[in-house]
Amino acid sequence: MVAFLKKFLCLSTTLLLLSSCYRNKSPFEPGNLNPERDRLLTDRELITPEDPNAPEEKPEWVAWIKGNHIPIRSLFCNDFSDLQFLKPLLKDKRIVELGESGHGVAQFNQAKVRLIKFLHQECGFSVIAFESSIFDCFYTYENSSSMTPIQMMINSIYGVWYTWEVELLFEYIKESQKTNNPLTLAGFDVKPSSFGFKAHPQFFKDVISKVDSNFANTVYHLDSLLVAKAFEDPEKFMDYLAKNEENLVFQYENIVYFLDQHMTELKQAYLDNQRIPLIARQAAWSMTVFIHVWAAFSANDYVSGFESRDKG
C-alpha cells in the first residue's frame, strides 16, 4: 500500500538499526529542564563507567570497536551533524527499517524519533510506516487535521507505543503537514491496531454507497457487529471468529469481489483521492486474513495463525 511513494520509513519490532551510546543516569534526560540537553554530547560525556561484573571480551573485538565506532551524541538534539555518516550508507535506499529489542524503552523511542526527523529532513524520506493496521493509520492520517497528536497516536498504532516519546513523533507528523514537505503516516499490518478500527464500518458504507446503497447498508451492519464484539470482550470475540470463520471470511471476500468489480467507478467517484477505494479493498481483504489468524489462535493453532499473519 506504499508503493506509490518514493521512500518510506518502517517501524517494526524486528531490527535494531541504531543503538544509543548514552548513559542511564544523565542530566539530559527528558523532563529535565536543563537547556543544555538540546545539544550534542562531548566524548567525555559519552563515557560510560565500566561494569565490574561484565564478562571479559576478546581484546581484538574491543580494539575493532574502538577503531571503527561512530558516536551518536544525542537522543533528541535537532543538530544532526553526528548522523551525517548515514547519508552515503543510505544513498539510493527506499526503505530504512527501525525497531527495538524491547517495547516501551524510552531511549529506543527517543533515538528513533530523532533518526526519523533526520531522514525526513535531510535524506528525502517522506513516509513513516508503522507495524500497525493499514486502515487505522490511513484513516487517522486522512483525518488528522481534526485530531490532536495523542488522538492520532491512539487511533492508529498498537498500544505498545503509547508513550510520551512517540507522542512527540505524532506532534512532528502533525506539524509537518503545515509545510511543503509533510511526513505521511502509514501502516502495513492486516490486523486492527487501535481505536481507529471503530471507523471501519462507516468507512465501508461511505465508499460502497457511491455505487450501491443497499449493499453498503449490508456491509455496514456486518462490520458494525464485528467491531462491536471486538471492543466488547476480546476472548468472546476470538470464540465468535472461530465459530463463524467460514461464513465471515466468505462475506468479506464478497466485499473484496464487489470492490474489484466496481473499482473503475469508485476511482471516478474519488478523483481527489483514489487511494480511498483501494484502502477499502485492502481493508476488506485484511479482514479475511485477520479472521483466519484469530480463529487459529482461538484453537491454540499458533503456527497456522502466525503463518497467516505473516503472509498477510
Q: Indicate the helix (H) or strand (E) that contains 131.
A: strand 127-133
- Contact by Cβ (8 Å): 30, 118: no
Average pLDDT across the chain, whole number: 87
**What pLDDT is recorded for position 25?**
38
* Domain span holding position 121: 8-189
Determine, yes or no, domain membership for 143: yes
3 assigned to some structural domain: no
Clarify whether residues 217 and 91 are in a common domain: no
- Of the two residues 188 and 33, the one the predictor is more confident about is 188
Domain boundary (189, 209, 240) is at: 189
- Residue 170 sits in the same domain as residue 209: no
| pTM of the predicted model as reported, rounded to 2 decimal places | 0.84
- pLDDT, residue 37, reads 66
Q: For residues 185 and 200, state if they share a domain.
A: no
Share of the chain above pLDDT 70, in %: 88
pLDDT at residue 3 tops 90 = no
> Looking at the domain assignment, is residue 1 inside a domain?
no
Give yes or no: residues 61 and 208 share one domain: no
Identify whether residues 257 and 307 lie together within a single domain. Answer: yes
Q: How many domains does the chain have?
A: 2
Instruction: For residue 222, give Cα distances in angstroms to 200, 229, 255, 263, 282.
Output: 11, 11, 11, 21, 17
Confidence grade of residue 239 (pLDDT, cut at 50, 70, 90): confident
* Among candidate residues 168, 189, 210, the one where a domain is terminated: 189
Residue 11's SS3 state is: strand
Q: What is the mean pLDDT of residues 15-40?
A: 45
Distance CA 154, CA 105 (A): 18
- 27/65 same-domain check: yes
Q: How far is the C-alpha of 211 from the C-alpha of 1, rounded, in Å?
A: 23
What is the per-residue pLDDT across 91-113, written as a single tens digit (0 to 9) for each? 999 999 998 888 878 999 999 99
More confident residue, 277 or 1: 277
